[in-house]
């Protein structure tokens, strides 16, 4: 194999000519190259053949993958061309993306490592700063988006928000229930954010959406009703049961406060009140997780505590049964679940527990989406799993200056179009 062919294979320079190779004293290999004739004078954005404008800033270097322990660079001229669409712009080179200071192989390797390894591993292995990793991830993700239509063929989608930083900073995520992939991420949790998704989807494809799963957020319901009125909106069972868990905890806190504010309830025996009353308050205080857990997951000690609550605090126990009754409705699902929900609403209306009477009214306001969820068996479980993975990526992406890099990393890792390692 000739030396020029060897360097072409090492640096993936199939559409370039190797002119010279030099080894700097500072442990750096520099390959001098030029694009082949058919790859010259092309727009860096659209790739169209354009007339030359000037020599630009002269020669420049692109960082390539290391050769063992030696850093490697490609050096070439960087002339400018005049594109009818993009104006005066730096000409494209076949070994790097437009505006990048690294080769395609280098970018793809960094993006693959960012999806599979830790922050410190990427920095140490590739010998680059973490903000540079964020810029590379954003660039690779944009390149994939330009070649791939992630929103094609959407029928059943899930919409939810996730906090990525303290201070009420959120991302809105959209997943495809059929492919189980993350298809879109937007900054914020407002109507404008969700309208941006439907703008990108387009009216024609929006009309093909058949089901949308989401929580009871008003902005999601309003935008879906406006942009995809034919879609059936399904309430997420997890969030509905979470409402009941929240109301149950309010009941527990109310009864606990009554017990601890009673004479002797703070742990000091008083006249007319035994020491056991203070113990009752402490038991109620520490029963939170027992009441939250499903009956089949209770330990022996927790089951004993639940039996004690049934005797000592019957109102709290009825609230617990109401929570479990609502959970069983979604566990059954289908027509039987819809009938069970009707009976549960009647029970909640006459239970004389203020918190669950209020919950019953809230459930009635969301009755159509809840019935759709029971009938179709759809939930936001896929989105909750995706959100958990995004939270992990958020920890990995700590240090990125903007959420764009985090969004790009999430789309690379969870969007189904991860870059392959070069040569694999």
pLDDT for residue 272? 46
* Alpha-carbon gap, residue 202 to 162, rounded angstroms: 24
CB contact set of 393 (below 8 Å; sequence gap of 6+): 406, 409, 410, 413
DSSP string over 241-286: HHHHHHHHHHHHHHHHHHHHHSTTTTSS-BTTB-THHHHHHHHHHT
Domain boundary among 376, 391, 406: 376
Indicate which CATH number applies to the domain containing 400.
3.30.420.10
Helix (H) / strand (E) containing 223: helix 218-227
Residues 167 and 184 in one domain: yes
Domain boundary among 43, 75, 101: 101
What letter would DSSP give residue 97?
-
pLDDT digits (tens, 9 = 90+) for 94-124: 999 998 999 999 999 999 998 888 888 898 9
Residues 176 and 206 in one domain: yes
Residue 133: name the closest of 391, 395, 390, 399 by CA: 399
Residue 285: name the closest of 311, 271, 267 by CA: 267
Instruction: Give residue 81's Cα distance to chain centre.
Output: 40
pLDDT digits (tens, 9 = 90+) for 293-311: 888 888 898 899 889 998 8
139: containing domain: 110-236+379-424
Residues 138 and 74 in one domain: no
Residues 211 and 125 in one domain: yes
pLDDT digits (tens, 9 = 90+) for 16-41: 999 888 887 768 999 999 999 999 99
Residues 207 and 79 in one domain: no
10 Å Cβ neighbour count for 37? 9
Residues 97 and 166 in one domain: no
Residues 11 and 92 in one domain: yes
Q: Helix, strand, or coil here: 163?
A: strand
Which of left, alpha, beta for 407 (phi over 0: left; psi -120 to 50: alpha)?
A: alpha
Domain boundary among 343, 359, 376: 376
pLDDT for residue 205? 94
Residues 321 and 409 in one domain: no
pLDDT under 50: residue ranges of the chain: 1, 267-269, 272-276
pLDDT for residue 382? 86
Give Cα separations from 373 to 199, 338, 358 (angstroms): 26, 10, 22
Residues 266 and 360 in one domain: yes
* Alpha-carbon gap, residue 395 to 406, rounded angstroms: 10
pLDDT for residue 51? 93
Residues 125 and 229 in one domain: yes
* Alpha-carbon gap, residue 151 to 20, rounded angstroms: 45
Contact 231, 224 (CB under 8 A): yes
Q: What does pTM read for this prediction? A: 0.78
Residue 331: name the closest of 247, 243, 240, 251 by CA: 240
Residues 77 and 35 in one domain: yes
Residues 265 and 366 in one domain: yes
pLDDT for residue 274? 41
- Count of domains forming the chain: 3
């Amino acid at each position: 194999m000739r030396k020029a062919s060897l360097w072409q294979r090492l640096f993936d320079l199939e559409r370039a000519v190797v002119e010279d190779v030099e080894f700097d004293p500072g442990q750096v290999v520099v390959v001098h190259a030029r694009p082949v004739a058919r790859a010259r004078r092309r727009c860096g954005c659209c790739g169209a053949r354009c007339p030359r404008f000037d020599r630009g800033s002269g020669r420049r270097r692109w960082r390539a993958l290391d050769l063992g322990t030696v850093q490697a660079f490609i050096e070439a001229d960087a002339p400018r061309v005049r594109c009818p669409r993009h104006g005066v712009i730096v000409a494209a080179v076949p070994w790097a993306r437009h505006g990048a200071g690294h080769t395609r192989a280098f970018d793809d390797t960094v993006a693959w490592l960012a999806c599979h390894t830790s922050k410190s591993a990427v920095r140490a292995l590739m010998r680059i700063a973490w903000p540079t990793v964020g810029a590379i991830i954003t660039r690779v993700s944009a390149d994939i988006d330009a070649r791939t239509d992630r929103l094609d063929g959407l029928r059943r989608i899930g919409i939810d928000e996730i906090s990525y930083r303290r201070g009420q900073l959120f991302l809105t995520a959209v997943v495809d229930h059929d492919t189980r992939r993350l298809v879109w991420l937007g900054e914020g949790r407002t109507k404008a954010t969700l309208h941006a998704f439907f703008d990108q989807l387009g009216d024609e494809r929006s009309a093909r959406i058949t089901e949308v799963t989401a929580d009871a957020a008003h902005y999601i319901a309003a935008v879906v009703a406006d942009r995809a009125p034919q879609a059936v909106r399904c309430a997420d069972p997890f969030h509905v049961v979470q409402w009941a868990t929240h109301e149950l905890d309010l009941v527990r806190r109310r009864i606990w406060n009554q017990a601890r504010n009673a004479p002797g309830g703070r742990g000091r025996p008083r006249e007319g009140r035994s020491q056991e009353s203070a113990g009752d308050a402490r038991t109620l205080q520490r029963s939170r997780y027992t009441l939250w857990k499903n009956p089949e997951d209770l330990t022996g000690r927790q089951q004993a505590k639940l039996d004690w609550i049934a005797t000592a605090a019957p109102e709290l126990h009825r609230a617990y049964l109401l929570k479990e009754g609502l959970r069983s409705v979604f566990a059954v699902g289908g027509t039987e679940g819809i009938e069970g929900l009707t009976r549960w609403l009647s029970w909640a209306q006459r239970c004389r527990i203020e918190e669950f009477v209020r919950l019953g009214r809230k459930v009635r306001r969301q009755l159509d989406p809840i019935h759709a969820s029971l009938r179709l068996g759809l939930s936001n479980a896929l989105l909750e799993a995706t959100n958990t993975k995004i939270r992990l990526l958020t920890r990995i992406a700590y240090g990125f200056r903007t959420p764009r890099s985090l969004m790009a990393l999430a789309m690379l890792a969870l969007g189904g179009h991860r870059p392959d390692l070069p040569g694999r």
